[in-house]
Structure 1
Amino acid sequence: MIFQYLIIGLLFLAAMFYVGRIFWRAFFVKAEGGCAKGCGACGTLDVDRLQRTIEKAAPARG
């Protein structure tokens, strides 16, 4: 019986660690990416090149 409580306690602690880590990373970790997700994918975008592409395509449509 005590073994079952030990397993449940360990699972509960693991779940609390997982959820706590998600919250910690969401609020306190400063990522290099440009958005709040923190995955870093936004930092690889070349915004200037994207803007030039949009500006080139705009007169062609009009």
Structure 2
Amino acid sequence: MAENIIIGIIFFSALVYLFTVVRKQFSTKSTGCAKGCGGACSTIDFKKIEAEMQKNKQTI
């Protein structure tokens, strides 16, 4: 009987965990980042990176 209760608790915990992961995956994020990393992706300036690469290419 105790084994069934323990297995039930583990199974229920796994379901809650999976539900949480799926919910986070499909929830809207204020940062717009698909990875959910906290907004670090939105601070990348690709034009600045391209300009620096062009500048470095000219100096080589």
* TM-score normalized by the length of structure 1: 0.68
Moved segments of 4+, more than 6 Å: none
Partner of 2:36: 38
Alpha-carbon deviation of 1:56?
1.7
Are the counterparts in 2 of residues 31 and 39 from structure 1 also a CA contact under 8 Å? no
Gaps of 5+ in 2: none
What does residue 50 of structure 2 align with?
A: 51
| TM-score normalised to structure 2 length | 0.70
Cα-to-partner distance string for 1:10-61 (whole Å, 9 max, x where unaligned): 10111111111111000014142x531111231343x043232123234446
Letter in 2 for 1:39: C
1:7-46 counterparts in 2 under 5 A? 7-32=6-31, 34-40=32-38, 41-45=40-44
User: Percent identity of the aligned residues?
Assistant: 33
Inter-partner Cα distance in structure 2 for 1:37 and 1:27:
11
Q: How many residues align?
A: 58
Q: Which stretches in structure 1 are left out of the alignment for 5+ residues?
A: none
